[in-house]
């Protein structure tokens, strides 16, 4: 089938089934034939073994994901108006679901918004983008222009767009790592800004902070902790820049201890605590969480009645899931042993390879070993600005639970 000038790739029946179910990726080994000149970052039509049209997508010649399908409409025209429409859909959705929280949220979440390999976060009047696919890199100017245009229609001022393309995944696409101001627009020289989330102020270092500068996906999970922390002695593990600790303190916790192995992160956490007049309610400890939990258990006693576990992703591939499961079990087991009966545990994982079923199985095993039972208070996901597209399981990556130990 060929109804326009795009080159064509023919795919296996397995890939056809996946595409018909709505998953947008075609892997290199799933392509059986190619017709026409396939160019890196260009568009191609995808067809079945029998020639049935399945969709049109962007090509990445150096990636395992060879084609990222954008649309299954054979009459679609991929003009700047198409990309602006995708940006507008994404931003309109955030305005609908985030309300007042639109000032600091994820504006574009890759595949979930039909813009595979493109992320945009809003931190007040700064937009931070991350471009992880070759095709998105080629149309970056169109996307940035559309972001500024649509935000302007909402009355939102953009002080500048900053690129956080300092990630190894770009090398899989044949793209260099880099970070810095997007030069297609005027910008401010300062590489930090301030946001307010759940009534708490944060200084966001979008040049050097992890990912795009701040983890927006736990916004409402932090609020859930704040609502359950009143009067409790809280241990916030892997505190990073202090967000869970700050929410617990603001929620009326009796005392909060915030732990991280990074001195730099703790300095930022202390600065955020001072911003919110909460420094006297939080102790900051530089330590390895695994070692600290073991030491606390050896000392005996129950110094905390609320423990928060927000570790970095222990696995970024299927090959390391078993090792990750052991790591998650270790810290959760130690936390359960430390908590008194009636104590509270907030725990999470942030890798889509750690499926909720596997995470819950791990928690049950840890609870059995710790000789406790877990009463589920809440089971949550990432915030609504990181929407889960049901037919793309990779967009579902954050498991978050609050339990009472009984």
- Mark which of 54, 71, 88 sits at the end of a domain: 71
**At 110, which CATH number?**
3.30.750.80
Q: Looking at the domain assignment, is residue 145 inside a domain?
A: yes
Q: Looking at the domain assignment, is residue 206 inside a domain?
A: no
In this prediction, residue 317 carries a pLDDT of: 67
Residues 53 and 136 in one domain: no
Residues 226 and 87 in one domain: no
286 is a catalytic site residue: no
Q: Looking at the domain assignment, is residue 210 inside a domain?
A: no
Q: Looking at the domain assignment, is residue 3 inside a domain?
A: no
Residue 366: strand, helix, or coil: helix
Tell me the C-alpha distance between 106 and 386, whole Å.
Answer: 7
- Mark which of 71, 92, 108 sits at the end of a domain: 71
pLDDT in tens, 331-351: 999 999 999 999 999 999 988
Residues 364 and 232 in one domain: yes
Residue 43: strand, helix, or coil: strand
Residues 304 and 162 in one domain: no
Residues 232 and 366 in one domain: yes
* CB contact set of 22 (below 8 Å; sequence gap of 6+): 389, 391, 392
Interval 34-47 mean pLDDT: 97
Residue 322 pLDDT class (50, 70, 90 cuts): confident
Q: Which of 10, 105, 144, 350 is catalytic?
A: 350
Residues 60 and 91 in one domain: no
Report the number of distinct structural domains present in the chain: 3
* Residue 2 clears pLDDT 50, i.e. is over it: no
* Number of residues assigned to the chain: 406
Residues 168 and 228 in one domain: no
Interval 283-290 mean pLDDT: 96
Burial class (CB in 10 A: 0-12, 13-18, 19+), 152: exposed
Residues 14 and 125 in one domain: no
In this prediction, residue 201 carries a pLDDT of: 98
Residues 161 and 104 in one domain: yes
Interval 311-331 mean pLDDT: 81
In this prediction, residue 316 carries a pLDDT of: 66
**At 344, which CATH number?**
3.40.50.150
In this prediction, residue 315 carries a pLDDT of: 66
**At 46, which CATH number?**
2.30.130.10
pTM above 0.85, yes or no: yes
In this prediction, residue 1 carries a pLDDT of: 42
Average pLDDT, the chain: 95
Residues 237 and 362 in one domain: yes
Tell me the C-alpha distance between 404 and 346, whole Å.
Answer: 9
Both tokens of 174, joined, read: 């044949």
Q: Looking at the domain assignment, is residue 35 inside a domain?
A: yes
Residues 363 and 257 in one domain: yes
pLDDT in tens, 299-309: 988 999 999 99
Both tokens of 86, joined, read: 């995708």
Q: Looking at the domain assignment, is residue 212 inside a domain?
A: no
Q: Looking at the domain assignment, is residue 190 inside a domain?
A: yes
Beta strands in 273-318 (DSSP E): 282-286, 306-309
Tell me the C-alpha distance between 91 and 93, whole Å.
Answer: 5
157-161, 353-357, 396-400: least confidently modelled range: 353-357
Q: Looking at the domain assignment, is residue 208 inside a domain?
A: no
- Mark which of 38, 71, 104 sits at the end of a domain: 71
Q: Could you tell me the residue range of the domain that residue 52 belongs to?
A: 8-71
Residues 175 and 267 in one domain: no
């Amino acid at each position: 089938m060929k109804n326009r000038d795009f080159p064509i790739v023919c795919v296996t029946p397995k890939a056809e089934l996946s595409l018909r179910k709505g998953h947008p990726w075609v892997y290199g080994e799933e392509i059986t034939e190619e017709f026409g000149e396939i160019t890196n970052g260009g568009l191609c039509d995808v067809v079945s073994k029998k020639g049935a049209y399945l969709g049109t997508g962007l090509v990445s010649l150096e990636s395992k994901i060879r084609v990222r399908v954008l649309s299954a409409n054979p009459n679609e025209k991929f003009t700047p108006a198409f990309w602006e429409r995708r940006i507008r859909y994404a931003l309109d959705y955030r305005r609908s679901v985030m309300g007042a929280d639109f000032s600091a949220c994820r504006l574009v979440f890759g595949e979930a918004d039909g813009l595979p390999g493109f992320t945009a976060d809003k931190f007040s009047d700064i937009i931070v983008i991350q471009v992880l696919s070759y095709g998105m890199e080629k149309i970056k100017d169109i996307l940035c222009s559309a972001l500024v245009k649509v935000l302007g229609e909402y009355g939102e001022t953009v002080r500048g767009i900053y690129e956080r393309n300092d990630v190894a995944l770009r090398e899989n696409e044949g793209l260099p790592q880099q970070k810095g101001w997007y030069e297609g627009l005027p910008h401010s020289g300062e590489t930090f800004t301030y946001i307010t989330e759940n009534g708490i102020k944060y200084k966001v270092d979008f040049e050097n902070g992890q990912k795009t500068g701040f983890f927006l996906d736990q916004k409402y999970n932090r609020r859930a902790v704040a609502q359950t922390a009143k009067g409790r002695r809280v241990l916030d593990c892997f505190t990073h820049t202090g967000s869970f600790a700050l929410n617990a303190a603001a929620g009326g916790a009796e005392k909060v201890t915030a732990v991280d192995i990074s001195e730099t992160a703790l300095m930022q956490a202390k600065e955020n605590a001072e911003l919110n007049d909460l420094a006297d309610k939080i102790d900051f400890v530089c330590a390895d969480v695994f070692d600290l939990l073991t030491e606390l258990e050896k000392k005996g006693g129950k110094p905390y009645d609320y423990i928060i576990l927000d570790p970095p992703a222990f696995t970024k591939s299927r090959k390391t899931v078993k090792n990750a499961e052991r790591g998650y079990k270790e810290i959760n087991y130690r936390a359960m042993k430390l908590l008194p009966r009636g104590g509270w545990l907030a725990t999470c994982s942030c890798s889509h390879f750690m499926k909720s079923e596997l995470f819950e199985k791990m928690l049950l095993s840890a609870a059995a070993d710790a000789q406790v039972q877990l009463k589920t208070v809440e089971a949550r996901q990432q915030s609504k600005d990181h929407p889960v597209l049901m037919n793309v399981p990779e967009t579902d990556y954050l498991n978050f639970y609050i339990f009472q130990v009984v």
